[in-house]
Amino acid sequence: MKKSYYSWKTFFAYRAQAVIWSVFSLLHVFVTVLIITVLYQVSPGIAGWSYYQVLLLSSLGGIAFYMIYYFFDPSYVASTLRNGGIDAELTRPVSKFAVIVTSNSSVWSLITIIGNLVVLVYAALHVQITIISLLSSIALFVLGTITLLLFLLMLALISYHVFKEGNFVGRVLTFAQDAGNYPLPVYGTIGQLAFSLALPIGLAFYYPSQILFGELSLSSFILIILACIVIGIITYKSFNFLLSRYTSGGG
Amino acid sequence: MGSPFRNWRVYLAFMSINLKTAFTYKGNFIMSLVLRVGLGLLMVFVWTAVFLNAKTSTIRGFTLPQMYAYFFLLSAIGITTMSSIRLIIQNDVQQGKIATSLLKPINYPLQTFYSSIPMTVVWSVFVSIPLVVLISIFVHFNLSTSVLLLLILEMAIAISLANIYDFLLGTLAINFVNIWGIAGVFFWTTSILEGGVMPLNLFPTILNKILMFTPFPIMGYTPAATVLGTVSMNYITTTILAGLFWIAVLLVLSIFRWRSVVRKITVVGG
């Protein structure tokens, strides 16, 4: 809580920068909406999804990504490990996982979350949603986003060990965000599998959107929950293993 | 700002250092390349779905293969027009190096320019050119001598504009210290207006006509559309002339801007 308060104070320390970052955060949402709108002006649909369904999917994706960013920036984690900037924190008698997850709060991402939330509500008003599908979707969204967070933590550590810097994970994130704006069947069966298991953005917001529109069977729902748990455990274990191999880069 | 050819050996040393730096993180370089191509591939999938649903062979003059080619060409153009001048200035301001740089008998704006070139050259040689060759094989567009000459002229204008822009952006670091946010807003906006997110002719006609007189189309849409042959000669000429006009305006602006901010530089010493 104190850390979050400190991050907000730091953010507003440079007022001009804070305003510019806020504009930048909202511009990201605007560009996504613009692209989807133009695409639907020239085509009646993408992979059988309506305009509002795709808007809802992309905004849900934006919320998932920026919720993760709110706690930590994977690129920053890799870069900080590289220059030993997190060493002092890691020696404290608290969970190393907690230290890294809260290492760099990008508070400006809250503005993007709010922007995406506005788009989400607007889109949701144009699609039919039942209470059961909404609750199932929220449950899956939370579980999927935690899985994605654990995956990105592991990726940050891989970025540190293999590439010795954070640009790699930053680029993967840009790629994942762009890919997540559209329904996964667009990328074919292999693409859908890759975005569900290898880079699990589908678990965080594609399948939650599908269940929201009542397009996911109960067996698929259970299978996705199982996938979230399995991937979550594997990535968490990998994160701990990679962190145990960490040797300070600072000095 | 001084002639770019005076003391060229000194500036060559800056280029050499930055060229070595560009190759330091090889794994990162290769993965950046893979992911950049991956971003183009995403648009291939999305536009395939759009064309399949639209049940038409052309959308605003673009066939599906041309649309594929457009995004990869834009990627190649984006890499070639990439500049790191703003990052160099920002780092120098944040670390206080700008003060010592100004004491040296070299022209600081030129130093930043020469330091930025190597990365652009490396990316252009290893990514942009192979990408254009690959696209030409898969999409079979005819790159005639006249189109090639036109493309070279357009790219020269685009590179000049991108570097002057980046310099102007970089000088804001002297006022704001951290310009990540400003640069972010700038690049998102530029990316839309230069056709980076989609061809400009998909935008409303009136907006497209206004954009013709701005410096943006020449930095992305015009070169790509010239290669693909999806744009009129009138449009090409107008955007080239607009590009030249904006180079002159921005160059004068950057000279005045530098003269103004160089007096205000303060550094956090230690």
Per cent of chain A over pLDDT 90 is: 52
Classify residue B3: in a domain, yes or no.
no
Classify residue B28: in a domain, yes or no.
yes
Q: Is B45 on the interface with A (CB under 8 A)?
A: yes
More confident residue, A154 or B54: A154
The pLDDT value given to residue A250: 55
The pLDDT value given to residue B4: 57
More confident residue, A25 or A122: A122
pLDDT exceeds 80 at position B32: no
List of chain A residues whose C-beta atoms are within 8 Å of the C-beta of residue B195: none
Q: What is the mean pLDDT of residues A163-190?
A: 88
Classify residue B134: in a domain, yes or no.
yes
Q: Which member of A24, A165, A182 has the closest CB to residue B184?
A: A24
> What are the residue ranges of helices labelled H in chain B?
8-22, 26-54, 64-80, 85-95, 97-103, 108-123, 129-139, 145-176, 180-193, 205-211, 221-228, 233-261
pLDDT exceeds 90 at position A10: no
Classify residue B2: in a domain, yes or no.
no
List of chain B residues whose C-beta atoms are within 8 Å of the C-beta of residue A191: 45
List of chain A residues whose C-beta atoms are within 8 Å of the C-beta of residue B51: 43
pLDDT exceeds 80 at position B235: yes
Nearest CA in chain B to A41: B202
Count of A-B CB contacts under 8 Å: 100
Exposure on the CB side of residue A72, measured as CA atoms within 13 A:
27
Classify residue B1: in a domain, yes or no.
no
Average pLDDT, rounded, for chain A: 88
The pLDDT value given to residue A123: 96
Contact flag A20-B177 (C-beta cutoff 8 Å): no
The pLDDT value given to residue B270: 44
Binned at pLDDT 50, 70 and 90, residue A72 comes out as confident
The pLDDT value given to residue B188: 83
Which 3 state secondary structure label does DSSP give B59?
A: strand
Average pLDDT, rounded, for chain B: 86
Give the ipTM: 0.85
Q: Which member of B53, B181, B182 has the closest CB to residue A43?
A: B53
B48-75 confidence digits (pLDDT tens): 999 988 888 888 888 999 999 998 899 8
Q: How many domains does chain B have?
A: 1
Classify residue B268: in a domain, yes or no.
no
pLDDT exceeds 50 at position B107: yes
Task: Label residue A56 exposed, middle or buried (CB < 10 Å: 0-12, 13-18, 19+).
Answer: buried
pLDDT exceeds 50 at position A218: yes
Q: What is the mean pLDDT of residues A222-242?
A: 95
Contact B109, B88 (CB under 8 A): no
pLDDT exceeds 90 at position A237: yes
Contact flag B188-A31 (C-beta cutoff 8 Å): yes
Contact flag A182-B184 (C-beta cutoff 8 Å): no
Classify residue B269: in a domain, yes or no.
no
Q: What is the mean pLDDT of residues B136-159?
A: 88
Q: What is the mean pLDDT of residues A36-58?
A: 90
pLDDT exceeds 80 at position B5: no
pLDDT exceeds 50 at position B29: yes
Whether the CA torsion B212, B217, B219, B223 is positive or negative: it is negative
Q: Is B152 on the interface with A (CB under 8 A)?
A: no
The pLDDT value given to residue A4: 66
B87-100 confidence digits (pLDDT tens): 889 888 888 888 88
More confident residue, A13 or B136: B136
Classify residue B231: in a domain, yes or no.
yes
Which of these ranges, A106-110, B20-24, B82-86, B247-251, has the smallest mean pLDDT?
A: B20-24
Q: Which member of A47, A163, A187 has the closest CB to residue B25?
A: A163
Domain that holds residue B213: 8-261
pLDDT exceeds 70 at position A81: yes
Binned at pLDDT 50, 70 and 90, residue B160 comes out as very high
Q: Which member of A14, A46, A179 has the closest CB to residue B42?
A: A179
